[in-house]
Structure 1
Amino acid sequence: MIMATAVYPTGLIKRRRRTRAEVEQLDSQIFDVLRADHPQSVRHVFYRMTDPRLPEPVEKTEHGYKQVQHRIAELRRNGGLPYHWISDATRRGYHVATFNGEADFLRRVSGSYRADLWEHAESYCEVWSESRSIAGVIQADCERLAVSLYPAGGFTSMTLAYQAAEYIRHAAEGRPAVIFYVGDLDPAGVLIDLDIERKLIEHLGDDVQIDFRRIGITEDQVALFDLPTKPRKAGERRALHIRETVEAEAMPAHILRRLLVDEIEALLPHDAVQAAQIEERAARRYFEQIAALTEEGRG
């Protein structure tokens, strides 16, 4: 069993073990949230489970997070929750691709062919996120719309900023660069995007004009989407205007994705996505024809 809490008039919190029925209700809530919107990070799901309107909410603490984390792990182990519904961009394997001949190579790499969505766009575009957790949730949309995605991991390193600036210089081809950012609304989070922007501008100089836009989390969004907040840490002296903090994962994943996709698509020429898809299908048919001819030649 996992722990539930009760708050007494003294302000003390007493934890008790959840009953089997309560655990099953929590599992049902987790499943429903992920079935309606996936992939999500564990932290995204946790924030959804803190909603007091739920039949079985969890406390908005690290203990509550561990409860949700544990139940997700159990649901995945017993087959009740598909593994791909949870995103985790913090860990990955490194693989070496090998091929069973030239035809196999052509067929497998043909799926990697992407038409240039941004060839006729007026701007170059890319996305930065404060954490790998957020990056894992928006990665599929960034890939579909052919924009680079950089998880900063907090205050970004000098090396990453330099490498990103060099790529922008090459890819922008003289166009302005629009950079969308998603990060926490807290004393550190509101400085991280400013730090990234400053470092990119330092490296790029006058070569590329930067339009850096924070699209989440903003103070207006806290009220608009009724996002859960928590007090700033005692003794924190940075960004004193931030009184209540909000993690980026507190925004429901489907809302975050929609905000980002709308912003990116607004920069693309009309029908760019559809035109690219047509070109990609034609290119893959071409590669398949070459693969077939290659097999005939070897036969």
Structure 2
Amino acid sequence: MLDRYRDHLPVSLRQLFYVLLSDGVLAKSERDYKRMCEYVGMARRSGRIAWDVIRDDTQIAVQAPPSFADQQDFWTAVARAADDYRVDRQAGQPVRLELWCETAGMVPQLVRIGEEFGISCFSGGGFDGLAGKHDAATRAAAGGLKTCILHLGDYDPSGEHLFSSLAEDVVAFAAAAGAAVEFERVAVTAEQVVTYRLPTAPPKATDRRSFSGTTTTQAEALPPDILAALVRTAIEAHRDPVIHQQALAREETDRLSIHDRLSHLEDAGRRPPE
């Protein structure tokens, strides 16, 4: 499976579980999930599975301030930064896009897709993240364009209510700031469950909220390649390809100019003092 989805690594343990479930290797049970986690853990410890192909969504990373071995190390870092120079790839497009997903573990994969188009990705889990909703409205007001939020979430009562709650609050906050925001459901939909034969489960008996379906499906049940294709299709439906290519061309021109100026600075630094 890791070879099959090597272009979409790293994956989470839940994504791995759902793919193996679809392949008929495992049963949809807590016992099989825990057993898979144990085997993956042993495989990582023994070196049979590389550490960087499985994403640990519980780890919190705090980076130290940047430091350099010497001045040459600093200028090497500056050159690398010049290589990464980018313009606002959403400038000039008809709408500004954001990617939102219910599951925080899916963010790294979505970031990889969105960065090609200059699109930020956020996790919108939970019903009480008012600060995050207000921040989204503030970004929409600052952008000066209509904002479209492409959303991915579970197909279950919680996922549907989360989507409607997010949309209602963000749209209201944005309207109060004089901005326009719309939400678009990218996944998971009832049609996708049937089309891709995704594993399902009955709704929880304790959850009595209204729900459009009769069975539930987790967003991570979508295979990584299908998920990437769905997101890319949704993005490209809102992009003008000519404007996008013009942004990429401007980036390359600017990048060459920056490197040229850096080379002059480096040459000047090598000259003996007068």
TM-score by length of 2: 0.87
Equivalent pair of 1:131/1:154 in contact (CA under 8 Å): no
2:249 paired residue number: 278
Cα 1:86–1:196, aligned 2, differ >3 Å: closer, same or farther? same
The letter of the residue matching 1:271 is V
Report how far residue 294 of structure 1 moved: 1.9
- Please report how far the alpha carbon of residue 70 of structure 1 lies from its aligned counterpart in structure 2 after TM superposition: 2.4
Task: Evaluate the alpha carbon distance shift between residue 34 and residue 260 of structure 1 in structure 2; reply closer, same or farther with a 3 A threshold.
Answer: closer
CA contact (8 A) 1:41 1:86 kept: yes
Query: Residue 5 of structure 2 contacts residue 224 of structure 2 at CA under 8 Å; is this kept in 1?
Result: no
Instruction: Measure how far apart 1:154 and its partner are.
Output: 2.5
Match of 2:34 in 1: 66
Identical aligned residues as a percent? 25
CA contact (8 A) 1:169 1:204 kept: yes
* RMSD of Structure 2 on Structure 1 (CA): 2.2
Q: Which aligned pairs between 1:44-83 and structure 2 lie closer than 5 A?
A: 44-51=15-22, 54=24, 57-83=25-51
Alignment of 1:200-279 (within 5 A): 200-205=170-175, 207-279=178-250
- Whether 2:151 is the aligned partner of 1:181: answer yes
Q: Give the corresponding residue for 1:91.
A: 59
Range that drifts further, 71-80 or 255-264? 71-80
Does 112-121 or 255-264 show the bigger shift?
112-121
Unaligned 5+ segments in structure 1 are 1-29
Q: Distance in 2 between matches of 1:248 and 1:223?
A: 14
Q: Does residue 164 of structure 1 match 2:143?
A: no
Q: Structure 1 residues 294 and 32 mapped into 2: Cα distance closer, same or farther (>3 Å)?
A: closer
- Of 245-254 and 91-100, more deviation after overlay is shown by 91-100
| Superimposed CA distance per residue, residues 224-281 of structure 1 (whole angstroms, 9 cap, x where no aligned partner) | 1111001111221112443211000011111111111111122121234433333323
CA distance in 1 between counterparts of 2:107 and 2:39 reads 23
Which residues in structure 2 correspond to 1:114-125 (within 5 Å)?
114-125=86-97
Corresponding residue SS for 2:241: coil
What is the alpha-carbon distance in structure 2 between the residues aligned to residue 67 and residue 135 of structure 1? 25
Q: CA deviation at 1:203?
A: 1.1
What is the alpha-carbon distance in structure 2 between the residues aligned to residue 297 and residue 37 of structure 1? Answer: 44
Q: 1:156: how far off?
A: 4.8
Q: 1:265, 1:84 → 2: CA distance? A: 29
Shift in alpha-carbon separation, 1:221–1:276, aligned structure 2, 3 A: same
Unaligned runs of 5+ in 2: none
1:106 corresponds to? 78
Count, aligned residues:
265
